[in-house]
Structure 1
Amino acid sequence: MKITIVAGARPNFIKIAPIIKAIEKNQSEGKTISFRLVHTGQHYDKNLSDTFFEELNIPHPNSNLEVKSGTQAQQTAAIMIAFEQELLENPCDLVLVVGDVNSTMACAIVAKKLNIKVTHVEAGIRSGDMTMPEEINRIVTDSITDYFFTTSTSASENLLKLGFDGSKIHFVGNVMIDTLFQNLNRITAPIFWDEFGLETGNYIVLTLHRPSNVDEEKSLQELLEGIDKMVGDKKIIFPIHPRTKAILGETNLNLKNILFVEPQGYLNFMFLIKNSFAVITDSGGISEETTVLGIPCFTMRTTTERPETIEIGTNNLVGISIENLTLAFTTFLENGMSKRGIPELWDGKASERIIDALLKV
């Protein structure tokens, strides 16, 4: 079986690493399976791309399509044109896509039109928010997928309700958690740890990148100043995305607690998360990692495609206003965190289940 694995953005790299390890394990056992890794170049900043390949021991891509940035349409079109040529020159039995970025959808469409089977890892998750580009990517990708691998029973149920063949839906767990477990003994403090006087539990990690939170300079400024005031004497480490940094520009911010740092590699970032007092984010993936690590998480969104992180995990969905965030954070300070657990099959073995299932079909 020849598999082409597609990765394009930071979350993808975290998800493909354990899948590749599982393939290599099967190869060492004499199984007839091989892979070709294609990096679309959707994320091309070294801190958002190359560092993850190095730290997670992901093999150098066989091909980098180098599409870089652009509007949604421009980027998707560029990926499709380049990936079509890639598949024509390097035929395969199966294209494996992960997550919900533009690369996921674009490459799935190209593969399907070339009559190549499509596997979607992290299939079936839904936020119900059609203003999110990721939601459209999920819906389109799933609509043409042949083999679905889900992170939760609710994701599997979403697919069943849409009429997909249950025999093609495999509940395997969460590959992001595979990567977390495989690297927990390798995480390391970032270079600014001592400089900022950081200690376990004396700081909060902040990440923001969604348009609803960062696209308007004045509202972003007000949000940051509100968070800065809300946390009392806790430091806030904010690895700021290049796009968010550009929006802020030379804005004069009145901040005493927020410390801006460059985007972090996986090992440094997971160290920050694991040792934090709490996390404030608008990322879905981070809420999965905080759930497993038992770190309180406050997600600044009105919807989530990962309901299990709220029902079972440590995630709190607080909307996008500083007032709602402050209320939720204050309640947490007063009452603490209720006892939470880890979702079913988030045990570090999802990638093994995926490859076992693919070898059978």
Structure 2
Amino acid sequence: MKRNIHLIAAARPNFMKIAPLYHALAKESWADPKIVHTGQHYDLNMSDAFFHDLQLPEPHIHLGAGTGSHAEQTGKVMMAYEKIVLEHKPDMVVVVGDVNSTIACTLAATKVVYDPDDTSSLNRPLVAHLEAGLRSFDRSMPEEVNRLATDVLADILWTPSSDGDEHLLHEGVAREKIIRVGNIMIDSLEMMRDKIEADPAYTDLGLEKGEYAVVTLHRPANVDNPTSLKSLCDMLTHLAKALTIVFPVHPRTRKNLESTGLLASISDNPNIKLLGPQNYISFMNLVFNCRIAITDSGGLQEETTYLGIPCLTLRPNTERPITITQGTNQLSTLESIEGQIDAVLRGESGKGSAPDLWDGKTAGRVVDSIKSLLDT
């Protein structure tokens, strides 16, 4: 009998995390993986080409949750997914990352009862969290709240690195629930490496390998405050004296640059190339060939560590501390970043190394774990 396994995704990074796992499960005679798209995020890059690049079918189930406040999104997804769980009765539900849909589907699946007359502990699906144990220790971040709550409720916690294990053990999680499997995003990168390397993104811009910086900035703390935004523009101007800058501008960031009149201060600089949002393959082609990355996002910290590229993360904390202690990442502030940039360009940033099990084989380990769990 095939085991029904739901893979939950809400936004583009989620689909990238479930893609290697979907492909690995689809090869197994005992597994029937189903992609559940919650519809929490509308993403302009969630196009047919995106699914084609990931070699994914259209999602099997659409919840159509839509946008709204954190509470509205969580509630809509919970109500919609509870109905799906009761209808389809999956054997396992796999949630990924830290978006509102992650905790919403976890809550729905852990509370559901398949048979009111069955008092056994198997009267609902097993719930597993892929990318468990990440912590920023900043509960002002909605993602941190989602991570904490999901890891308390999920039955199985698949961690990407040793620091994830340590966080969970410190929080009192039973050791037998924690299984280190590695970083699933590296599987996606390796799955698409040939397309990334063949993409003409950086050559089309007339760039030379190792002679430019990639910048991504979108967090409210950095781009919503006019004073901070002015400091960021000053930083870009400083960096542009040494390197060409490639800056795919997030819609939120562009809107704020326009409203503050700061857009012209960087768009007129010939060494700053402002781009629209990029698809994964083109963006990673730019990253593969850059000298340094400056970001406030999460995933790029991991990818640059794996690739051995210096990364400066403009945040007070990171839920991926192993990218700092072992990798190529450094936390930065508006006050420190120019000095850190100069140090990187002088070759003083250190090399770093990829953490254990960041090897492109995480999906296979997860499949082995699922089979073992469902066979018991």
TM-score (normalised: structure 2): 0.89
Q: Which consecutive residues of structure 2, in runs of 5 or more, have no partner in the other structure?
A: 113-123
Q: 1:246 to 1:252 in 2, by over 3 A?
A: closer
Give the Å deviation of 1:188. 5.2
Residue 170 (str. 1) matches residue 179 (str. 2): yes
Q: Aligned partners of 1:178 and 1:289: how far apart in 2?
A: 11
Give the Å deviation of 1:147. 0.6
CA contact (8 A) 1:3 1:93 kept: yes
Tell me the residue number matched to 2:365: 353
Q: Aligned partners of 2:101 and 2:364: how far apart in 1?
A: 24
Encode CA deviations 1:209-257: one digit per residue, 9 max, x unaligned: 2221122244224312322223314222222222333333444331113
CA contact (8 A) 1:43 1:49 kept: no
Tell me the residue number matched to 1:184: 193
The CA RMSD measured in Å over matched residues stands at 1.9
Tell me the residue number matched to 2:240: 231
Tell me the residue number matched to 1:20: 22
Q: Aligned partners of 2:258 and 2:84: how far apart in 1?
A: 38
Tell me the residue number matched to 1:45: 43
Q: Aligned partners of 2:200 and 2:191: how far apart in 1?
A: 22
Query: Aligned ranges for residues 139-288 of structure 1 at < 5 Å?
Result: 139-187=148-196, 193-194=202-203, 196-253=205-262, 254-255=265-266, 256=269, 257-288=271-302
Residue 341 (str. 1) matches residue 350 (str. 2): no
- SS of the residue corresponding to residue 346 of structure 1 reads coil
CA contact (8 A) 1:188 1:268 kept: no
Residue 85 (str. 1) matches residue 94 (str. 2): no
Give the stretch that moved more between structures: 172-181 or 48-57. Answer: 48-57
Q: 1:184 to 1:169 in 2, by over 3 A?
A: same
Q: 1:68 to 1:262 in 2, by over 3 A?
A: farther
Q: Aligned partners of 2:37 and 2:71: how far apart in 1?
A: 19
Query: Aligned ranges for residues 120-135 of structure 1 at < 5 Å?
Result: 120-135=129-144
Q: Aligned partners of 1:285 and 1:156: how far apart in 2?
A: 19
CA contact (8 A) 1:48 1:265 kept: no
- SS of the residue corresponding to residue 143 of structure 1 reads helix
Query: Aligned ranges for residues 310-329 of structure 1 at < 5 Å?
Result: 310-319=324-333, 321=334, 323-329=335-341
Tell me the residue number matched to 2:120: none
Paired residue total: 355
Q: 1:206 to 1:50 in 2, by over 3 A?
A: farther
Give the Å deviation of 1:50. 5.1
CA contact (8 A) 1:123 1:155 kept: yes
Q: 1:106 to 1:315 in 2, by over 3 A?
A: same
Q: 1:245 to 1:83 in 2, by over 3 A?
A: farther
Q: 1:218 to 1:74 in 2, by over 3 A?
A: farther
- SS of the residue corresponding to residue 186 of structure 1 reads helix
Residue 302 (str. 1) matches residue 346 (str. 2): no
Tell me the residue number matched to 1:7: 9
Tell me the residue number matched to 2:121: none
Q: Which AA in structure 2 matches 1:293?
A: L
Q: Aligned partners of 1:156 and 1:346: how far apart in 2?
A: 15
CA contact (8 A) 1:187 1:270 kept: yes
Tell me the residue number matched to 1:112: 110
CA contact (8 A) 1:7 1:16 kept: yes
- SS of the residue corresponding to residue 336 of structure 2 reads helix
Q: Which AA in structure 2 matches 1:299?
A: T
TM-score (normalised: structure 1): 0.93
- SS of the residue corresponding to residue 95 of structure 2 reads strand
Percent identity over paired residues? 45
Q: Which AA in structure 1 matches 2:310?
A: P
